[in-house]
Amino acid sequence: MKDIIENEFSEHIKTANLLYNLTDAIANASQLCIDCLKNGGKILLFGNGGSAADAQHIAAEFIGRFKLERKSFPAIALTTDTSIITALSNDYSNDIIFSRQCESLVSNGDIIIGISTSGNSKNVQNGLITSKQKGAITIGLLGNDGGIIKNYVDIQIIIKSSSTAKIQEAHRVIYHIICELVELEMSKN
């Protein structure tokens, strides 16, 4: 048991060290979120499974607070309305559950954060494509080599690992940094 635990720690540290290569992408994503909010836009997020939970977590940090007491920032996780998700999946296809929501909720200049540990989630890809068509700025929190989705985002934040758990752990560090940077800048006013 101890060997397994120590191996997990080693793998986590190895993945965490990959984050140093993403400093510029994280800074750019944070600045785009800041600019969007200052211009009256909103942040929309989506993903599947654990990434859906991460989308909800990030939205909660923006709506509530991260570290500072401040006004709420507009953010929507498109993974929370089970009636919409199940209706779209049943009536159409799981592939359109995010694009259909983006069709009606995304405005020009909004920030869209698509989360996919494989980089190949078709419904995330479709949501990003629809969002770009509506004039949104797209950010991909991705894993592996970024998959097909890396071709559909303005900013790629790719954790080059094939371990879903390690990718998700790194994504959490990244989105907490983004939340902190956005909150610090937006609280200056």
User: What domains sit in the chain, N to C, each tagged with a CATH number?
Assistant: 2-186 (3.40.50.10490)
Burial of 128 per CB tally in 10 Å (0-12, 13-18, 19+): buried
Assess contact for 66 and 60: CB atoms under 8 A.
no
Per residue in 148-173, pLDDT tens?
999 999 999 999 999 999 999 999 99
Q: Under a CB-based contact definition with an 8 Å cutoff, are residues 113 and 55 in contact?
A: yes
- pLDDT band, very low/low/confident/very high, at 74 (cuts 50, 70, 90): very high
What is the C-alpha radius of gyration for the chain, rounded to an integer number of angstroms? 16
Beta bridge partners of residue 44, listed in sequence order: 76, 112
Task: Reduce the DSSP state of residue 160 to 3 states and report it.
Answer: coil
Dihedral sign, Cα of residue 118, residue 81, residue 94, residue 76: negative
If one counts every other C-beta atom within 10 angstroms of the C-beta of residue 24, the result is: 9
Helix (H, G, I), strand (E, B) or coil at 147: coil
What is the band of 189 on the pLDDT scale with cuts at 50, 70, 90? low
Q: Is the pTM of this model over 0.85?
A: yes
Question: For residue 130, is pLDDT > 80?
Answer: yes
Instruction: Please choose, from the candidates 167, 80, 85, 76, the residue with its C-alpha nearest in 3D space to the C-alpha of residue 119.
Output: 167
Query: 10-59: per-residue pLDDT in tens?
Result: 888 888 888 899 999 999 999 999 999 999 999 999 999 999 999 999 99
- Token look-up 């540990």 returns 117
CA dist 68 and 182 (Å) reads: 11
